[in-house]
Amino acid sequence: MLAWCYERDVPLTPRGGGTGFAGGAVPLGGVVLSLERLTRVRSFDPLLWRIEVEAGVRTSEVRRLARESGLFFPPDPGGAEQSQIGGNIATNAGGAHAFKYGVTGRWVTGLEAAIPPGELVRTGGPLRKDVAGYDLKALLVGSEGTLGVITAAWLRLLPAPEAVHPVVAFYPDVRAGCDAVLRVVGSGLEASALEYFDAGTLALAGPSYPGTIPPGAGFMVAAEADGSRDEAARLRDELLSVLGEGALAAETPSPGELWRWRDGIAFAVMAKRGGKLGEDIAVPLDRLAEAIEESVALGGRYGLEAVSWGHAGDGNLHTNFLVDPGDPDELARAGRAGEGLFELALRLDGTVSGEHGLGLLKRGYAGWTPRVARLQQAIKDAFDPKGLLNPGKKL
């Protein structure tokens, strides 16, 4: 298909599960190439902690296969039931447990990809180390379908943790909650996840929270301890002690209930007005509190209700502006507020995208210097000299 398109100057947009939040799989003309039928598990070696899958295998399927053999594929982006491993790699997706385990790219040891003008290439493989040459695998990871079509991947797995214990604490405000996050990190406690939820999020999603939210709570932090039975219990107790300092309350909900609730937050928030526009900016950890406060204030400036939650430990905010999707004026104001978020991220020494990529929505906002922009373009030109792969995205 790629060779056919390249010969005839037809643009081609790869599409995985279609769950991306940056409009990357939305074509601007040409052909859409769906990877949904590439669903073969080519090899699985549980004793070597590795699996080779085709790009269309769903993220949840990779996680399930690993779990059934006592292993663990750490990346856990929220749309895992629908997203494909190729899409996760193409966006270098994160998730709640990226705080300890990193984003998808960290678990990819090799890729097979179709690159212009229509050749199948392989970079890396079932290897744990490979430092020969420039890292082409790393260039394809996060390339959002603009450099090649990923057809298969070799993934690294880990033995599954024996025990998992979430710890949740509530604070009166953003500052007290973010201080607690900094205390966890400063104490050297390696939580597997470290999430935050602001007052607006608690107001909308709080009614379905599986524990007890104390009166006066304006901020919630959820951490998780994992490891062997003993390690996880010790870390849980230490997290309870560090997060409990200055908290209104702290508790240990069941992991299943907590993460199910976490997965539903976006929908609970969206239900308020029927729509939302959210971004995924990331800032240095010590700027998290001001980023949350300023991003929510931005909504007010444009007459929009704003709520914020996200991956606290990674300084990765999901601030969302609530909108009526049928109101063009509100949508326009949300767009301007979104631009304000990008400016805020760059001003705080952060990035406009911590995990969703630039796609269609954020291209042009990355804040690169001219030299860096030229290097980015040179990489694109080296892979795709005719500019036919997912044109109009990322750059």
Ligand X SMILES: Cc1cc2nc3c(=O)[nH]c(=O)nc-3n(C[C@H](O)[C@H](O)[C@H](O)COP(=O)(O)OP(=O)(O)OC[C@H]3O[C@@H](n4cnc5c(N)ncnc54)[C@H](O)[C@@H]3O)c2cc1C
Options 2, 11, 12, 16; binder of ligand X; rule CB under 6 A: 16
- Site residue total, ligand X (CB under 6 A): 36
- Establish if 77 lies at the interface with ligand X (CB under 6 A): yes
Q: Interface with ligand X by CB under 6 A: which range of 64-72, 337-345, 351-359, 365-373?
A: 351-359
Q: What is the closest distance, in whole angstroms, from the C-beta atom of residue 108 to ligand X in the complex?
A: 12
> Quick check: 308 binds ligand X (CB under 6 A)?
no
- Among residues 145 and 340, whose Cβ is nearest to ligand X? 145
Q: Does 21 bind ligand X (CB under 6 A)?
A: yes
Q: DSSP character for 160?
A: P
The residue to which tokens 């980015």 are assigned: 376
Nearer to ligand X, 171 or 196 (CB): 196
- If one asks whether residue 150 binds ligand X (CB under 6 A), the answer comes out as yes
Q: Where in the chain does DSSP place strands (E)?
A: 12-15, 31-34, 41-45, 50-54, 71-72, 108-115, 119-124, 149-156, 158-159, 163-171, 193-198, 219-227, 249-251, 275-278, 306-311, 316-323
- CB count, 10 Å around CB of 365? 18
Tell me the CB-side half-sphere exposure of residue 29, using CA atoms within 13 A: 7
Residue number with CB closer to ligand X (288 or 389): 389
Nearer to ligand X, 96 or 199 (CB): 96
Q: Does 79 bind ligand X (CB under 6 A)?
A: yes
Does position 105 interact with ligand X (CB under 6 A)? The reply is no
CB of 339 to ligand X, least distance (A): 20
User: Hey, which residues between 253 and 292 contact ligand X (CB under 6 A)?
Assistant: 266
Q: How far apart are CA 159 and CA 154, in angstroms?
A: 17
Query: Is residue 201 close enough to count as binding ligand X by CB under 6 A?
Result: no
Of 6, 12, 51, 84, which lies in the binding site for ligand X, with binding defined by CB under 6 A? 84
d(CA 150, CA 137): 10
In angstroms, what CA-CA distances link 341 with 236, 281, 318, 338? 34, 7, 10, 5
Is residue 123 a contact point for ligand X (CB under 6 A)?
no
As measured in angstroms, the least distance from the Cβ of 13 to ligand X is 5
- Tokens 């409990």 belong to 244
Looking at residues 25 to 54 of the shown chain, list those that interact with ligand X (rule: CB under 6 A): 25, 35
Distance between CA atoms of residues 52 and 154, nearest Å: 4
Given a contact cutoff of 8 angstroms between Cβ atoms, the answer to whether 197 and 222 are in contact is: yes
Q: What share of the chain is helix, strand, coil (3-state, %, to 5)?
A: 40, 25, 40
Minimal CB distance residue for ligand X: 87
CA dist 246 and 70 (Å) reads 38
Q: Which residue(s) pair with 31 in the sheet?
A: 12
Q: Which stretch, 85-93, 174-182, 198-206, 292-300, contacts ligand X (CB under 6 A)? A: 85-93
Q: Does 353 contact ligand X by CB under 6 A?
A: no
Query: Using the 8-state DSSP alphabet, how is residue 368 labeled?
Result: -
- Write out the residues near ligand X by the rule CB under 6 A: 13-21, 24-25, 35, 55, 77-79, 83-84, 86-88, 90-91, 93-95, 144-145, 149-150, 266, 355-356, 359, 390, 393
